[in-house]
Amino acid sequence: MAKILMKGNEAIAEAAVRAGCRFFAGYPITPQNEIPEYLSWRLPEVGGVFVQGESEVASVNMVYGAAASGCRAMTSSSGPGISLKAEGISYLAGTQLPAVIVNISRGGPGLGSIQPAQQDYLQATKALGHGGFRVMVFAPATLQEAVDVTYNAWEYAERDRNPVMILMDGCLGSIMEQVEFPEMKEPDRKGTHAWDLNRVEGEKRSARLLLPYFPEALLEVKNKSHKAMIERWQKNDVQVEEFMLEDAEYVAVAYGISARVAKEAILRLRDEGHKVGLIRPITLFPFPKESFQKLNYEQVKGIIDIELAIPAQMHDDIALEVLGRAPIHDYCRSGGMLFDDDGIYNAVKKIIDGGAK
């Protein structure tokens, strides 16, 4: 398919349709409103269903029901709405139902700002809901990467029978870039999925447990299985970009829109002879631990965490892998205040020159 110019939110929505998503329920909140707006007319075109729920709570529970019917289902929101969906997401994980949740994040806490931010890292990777479950969290940095991540998200969700989250800041949701879409997938309507309430075994409809409530011994078995799944993710599913690390004396760490701006600043610093590289997590969970573990700490003089969040939320995950072998500096903005090339360039140059954080 030829490349076309699209807004980030709309590109995600179209990628979801092409991935076989046929049900969406959501509730308006800036800066993700173009996703439900686009799907409100696009899903009916392919025989799908769009519902604007009366609330975020209602919407995520509609996704719960659609997923239980074997349908590829999705919801989207921003930080405050994701908080309201937290119980439903935990129920999806508890009943091992696949679904895709998109967070086009804004500033916080509280109602915060409608401007772009990266202040939902901890929510997405550590506390998406009660009960200690985890989900794979993807953080694309370009709209083409957002299309590809969305298109493949249900493959992971259905493989693991677990929700998947796509975390993208409001800047990427709003900008326009050229994207190329993959082919249309036809959804499985045969009722063959193990979690599908419509699946028929022999001549009898198969019974399913919809409520995530289990005797203690069985629940512990399920929790152990979830732990093993997380370990498989860490072994097999980490996605990361490593940029100019071979001779790097300073390593920036950034994701999403922050990584794009950081890369431009790094190229400028390189032109001046400064040996700076970049680790860009594409999966925020599982975190790219190995990228930090294999750094040459006799060569690396400092790590620079670059985030649109104050305080820095990724800092602790970085520190767990660096283990004190290099100082970690933070350069952050928040509340809708975006990075620019000069800002990151000056912050990194100050660190290289021995200035304060």
| Kind plus residue range of the DSSP H or E element containing 156 | helix 143-160
Q: Minimal CA–CA distance to 184: which of 347, 10, 22?
A: 22
Specify the pLDDT at position 355. Answer: 59
Which CATH entry fits the domain spanning 4-236: 3.40.50.970, 3.20.20.10, 3.40.50.720, 3.40.50.620?
3.40.50.970
CB 60 within 8 A of CB 89: yes
Specify the pLDDT at position 351. Answer: 96
Give per-residue pLDDT as tens, 287-343: 999 999 999 999 999 999 999 999 999 999 999 999 999 999 999 999 888 999 899
Return per-residue pLDDT of the chain as tens, 357 residues: 689 999 999 999 999 999 999 999 999 999 999 999 999 999 999 999 999 999 999 999 999 999 999 999 999 999 999 999 999 999 999 999 999 999 999 999 999 999 999 999 999 999 999 999 999 999 999 999 999 999 999 999 999 999 999 999 999 999 999 999 999 998 877 777 888 887 766 545 555 556 666 778 888 999 999 999 999 999 999 999 999 999 999 999 999 999 999 999 999 999 999 999 999 999 999 999 999 999 999 999 999 999 999 999 999 999 999 999 999 999 999 988 899 989 999 999 999 998 544
> And the tokens for 282?
């594409």
Specify the pLDDT at position 213. Answer: 67
Specify the pLDDT at position 196. Answer: 84
Beta bridge partner(s), residue 126: none
- CATH architecture observed for domain 240-352: 3-Layer(aba) Sandwich (3.40)
CA separation, residue 29 to residues 11, 77, 79, 82, 191 (Å): 18, 6, 9, 10, 34
Residue by residue, DSSP assigns 223-241 as HHHHHHHHHHHHHHT--EE
Helices (H) and strands (E) in the chain, counts: 12, 17
How many whole angstroms separate alpha carbon 101 and alpha carbon 167?
Answer: 9
List every span in the chain annotated with CATH 3.40.50.920. 240-352
CB 26 within 8 A of CB 75: yes
List every span in the chain annotated with CATH 3.40.50.970. 4-236
The pairing of beta strand 100-107 with beta strand 73-77: parallel
Specify the pLDDT at position 198. Answer: 77
